[in-house]
Amino acid sequence: MNSVQTLPQTKIEDWKGLKLRGPTRVLSYHPANSIIEVLNRRFGMVSMLGLSTTLMLTWEGILVYFGSGLSNGGSAGLFYSYLLSWAGFLSVMTSMAELASMAPTSSGQYYWVYMLAPKSVRKLLSYLTGWLSIAVWQAMVAMSGCLCATIIQALLVLNYPDSYSSRGWHGTLLIWSAVMLAFFVNSVLGRWLPKIEGFILYLHVFGFFGILVPLMYLAKRVTAEQVFTQWNNGGGWPSHGLSFLVGMITNIGPFVGADGAVHMAEETHNAAIIVPWNIIITVLVNGCLGLGMLLTTLFCMGDLESAMATATHYPFVQIFFDSTKSYLGTTLMVNPKSFLPMNAILATCIISLLLSLINIGSVRALENILSFTVSSWEAAAFIPVALLLWNRLTGRINVARFTPDDPRAKTDEALTWGPWRVPEPLGTCINAIGLAWIIVAFFFSFWPGKTTVTPETMNYSSLMTGFWFLFGIGFYVIHGKKYYKGPVIET
């Protein structure tokens, strides 16, 4: 079990008298919270890479969302929007890596916001960031279960076209199975999680080649001209440029989750160095794998109309089958995805199970509930990244860390850079680029896939994100501000 300790604002030699279990190391002297690490350091670079890369599942996500990108943008739009999304995400995560080095705590974004924001609004902004983060993580669990279920149903349609008919309750039961499996691994097998994550990392990489090689060897290729110059405006937008921006959301989803290492910082060796490097390496590795899978699929997709019209509703499944001409081969190529806070794990599991009930009545309704994952993530990332840029430009972050007995250590001047930092002026430029990309991605995450909008094709993520945002502010004003005093340090 994790324990919560309130640490006094005092000298470091006085902390030695505290009875703390496990290895300890002082991380920061911010006046709001002084962090002492006391959790066992179970995670190293490899196990953390396993956790963060498989949390993103970029190349797998590229395949899952492949059809949506073909509709708005076409093969050329998919390729160029991927490069844009990769660069934008790398800019955002570089800024977060700097924050993770300044304050390597599992609290992550909402702690950084409290640390960076002006005193007059730090509680509200911190609370709101945490509120948005809750939406992201809950939706991600349900979305992962939904994708596993629908891919399994797609394979059943492929293998048994005459005897299997997809039903909503089938999907719900499959979602439950996927969520319960994740619950089992994170609870019963929790103590072996670092080793499991390391194994999954190797599976993630080897699985990439297990799909790439057969496709390259067996499939008929299209020309480079078709891949890099063929645009599609299936949504009926006024221009290909607008269609491109609407379809860009396809390549944003596979990158969400790159900050997973942040939330394991207090269980990671040398977190102020390992976590920032883990964030950057995760985005680079998964970005390379995703680009390789995207290009391979584009070159091997064959007849575009046939892939888009597939009864499985997943073009990549049809592309695999057209390449291998084997039901077994296609099925094997598809592989979707105590020391622990059991209350949080159990709550996440139950919420995901309840959300999956919507699938019985309407698959589209569940997809819309899950679609606001991206918009919520962008909103939660915007606040700390914007505050980092503001602190950068106003010179509020110091280069040298103050000692605990320095009078400035108890003031806002205690903000200092960590050991991992991008040198100036490059750091400021990257910070600003990441912020601009968040704004663009957030704006277009609310657009529907077609100009002709019906209740069935409407993108309801704007409604859901707006409701969650306003409800969070209202709850804070009425109730939260009475009890929320700032981030609680979990140790």
- Using one digit for the tens of pLDDT, what is the confidence trace for 451-460? 888 877 788 8
DSSP 288: H
Lowest-confidence region among 22-26, 180-184, 220-224, 275-279? 22-26
When pLDDT is cut at 50, 70 and 90, the band that residue 83 belongs to is very high
When pLDDT is cut at 50, 70 and 90, the band that residue 403 belongs to is low
Most confident of 129-143, 208-222, 293-307, 383-397: 383-397
268 belongs to a structural domain: yes
* Residue 135 reports pLDDT greater than 60: yes
DSSP 26: E
Q: How many domains does the chain have?
A: 1
120 belongs to a structural domain: no
Q: Rounded mean pLDDT of the chain?
A: 76
* Residue 6 reports pLDDT greater than 50: no
- The residues near 175 (Cβ < 8 Å, ≥ 6 apart) are 142, 145, 146, 148, 149, 352, 353, 356, 359
* Residue 98 reports pLDDT greater than 90: yes
479 belongs to a structural domain: no
Q: What pLDDT score was predicted for residue 363?
A: 61
Q: What pLDDT score was predicted for residue 382?
A: 93
Query: Closest by alpha carbon to 45, among 55, 53, 57?
Result: 53
CATH number at residue 315: 1.20.1740.10
Q: What pLDDT score was predicted for residue 438?
A: 93
Give me the phi and psi of 422, to 5 degrees please: -85, 125
Query: Closest by alpha carbon to 41, among 268, 310, 371, 341?
Result: 268
What's the whole-number mean pLDDT along residues 299-319? 72
405 belongs to a structural domain: no
219 belongs to a structural domain: yes
**Whole-number percent of the chain with pLDDT over 90:** 14
3-state secondary structure the chain: CCCECCCCCCCHHHHCCCCCCCCCCEEECCCCCCEECCCCCCECHHHHHHHHHHHHCHHHHHHHCHHHHHHECHHHHHHHHHHHHHHHHHHHHHHHHHHHHHCCCCCCHHHHHHHHCCCCCHHHHHHHHHHHHHHHHHHHHHHHHHHHHHHHHHHHHHHCCCCCCCCHHHHHHHHHHHHHHHHHHHHCCHHHHHHHHHHHHHHHHHHHHHHHHHHHHHCCCCCHHHHHHCCCECCCCCCHHHHHHHHHHHHCHHHCCHHHHHHHHHHECCHHHHHHHHHHHHHHHHHHHHHHHHHHHHHCCCCHHHHHCCCCCCHHHHHHHHHHCCHHHHHHHCCCCCCCCHHHHHHHHHHHHHHCCHHHHCHHHHHHHHHHHHHHHHHHHHHHHHHHHHHHHHCCCECCCCCCCCHHHHCHHHCECCCCCCCCCHHHHHHHHHHHHHHHHHHHCCCCCCCCCCCCCCCCHHHHHHHHHHHHHHHHHHHHHHHCCCCCCEC
When pLDDT is cut at 50, 70 and 90, the band that residue 336 belongs to is very low
372 vs 489: which has the higher pLDDT:
372
345 belongs to a structural domain: yes
pLDDT by residue (tens digit) across 461-484?
888 888 888 998 998 888 888 888
72 forms beta bridges with: 233
Q: What pLDDT score was predicted for residue 95?
A: 93
484 belongs to a structural domain: no
Left (φ > 0), alpha (ψ -120 to 50) or beta: where does 484 sit? beta
* Residue 75 reports pLDDT greater than 70: yes
* Residue 40 reports pLDDT greater than 60: no
Q: For residues 8 and 34, what is the distance between their CA atoms, to the nearest angstrom?
A: 8
88 vs 19: which has the higher pLDDT:
88
Q: Is 276 exposed, middle or buried (0-12, 13-18, 19+ CB in 10 A)?
A: buried
Are 54 and 201 in contact by the 8 Å Cβ rule? The answer is: yes
Q: What pLDDT score was predicted for residue 402?
A: 54
Q: What pLDDT score was predicted for residue 488?
A: 59
Q: Which structure tokens are listed for 79?
A: 């390729």
Q: What pLDDT score was predicted for residue 198?
A: 67
Lowest-confidence region among 65-79, 279-293, 382-396? 65-79
* Residue 11 reports pLDDT greater than 60: no
DSSP 424: T
474 belongs to a structural domain: no
68 vs 92: which has the higher pLDDT:
92
Query: Which amino acid type is present at position 161?
Result: P
Does the bond joining 425 to the residue before it have cis omega, within 30 degrees of 0? Answer: yes
Q: Which structure tokens are listed for 339?
A: 């020391």
- The residues near 21 (Cβ < 8 Å, ≥ 6 apart) are 38
pLDDT by residue (tens digit) across 102-117?
888 878 888 999 989 9
Position of tokens 């103050």? 402
* Residue 425 reports pLDDT greater than 50: yes
Q: What pLDDT score was predicted for residue 362?
A: 64
Most confident of 279-283, 297-301, 414-418: 279-283
* Residue 99 reports pLDDT greater than 90: yes
When pLDDT is cut at 50, 70 and 90, the band that residue 144 belongs to is confident
Q: Residue 79 belongs to what domain range?
A: 43-105+132-375+425-460
Are 89 and 357 in contact by the 8 Å Cβ rule? The answer is: no
What's the whole-number mean pLDDT along residues 40-57? 65
Q: What pLDDT score was predicted for residue 23?
A: 34
Give me the phi and psi of 42, to 5 degrees please: -85, -20
Q: What pLDDT score was predicted for residue 448?
A: 84
pLDDT by residue (tens digit) across 180-195?
887 787 777 767 766 7
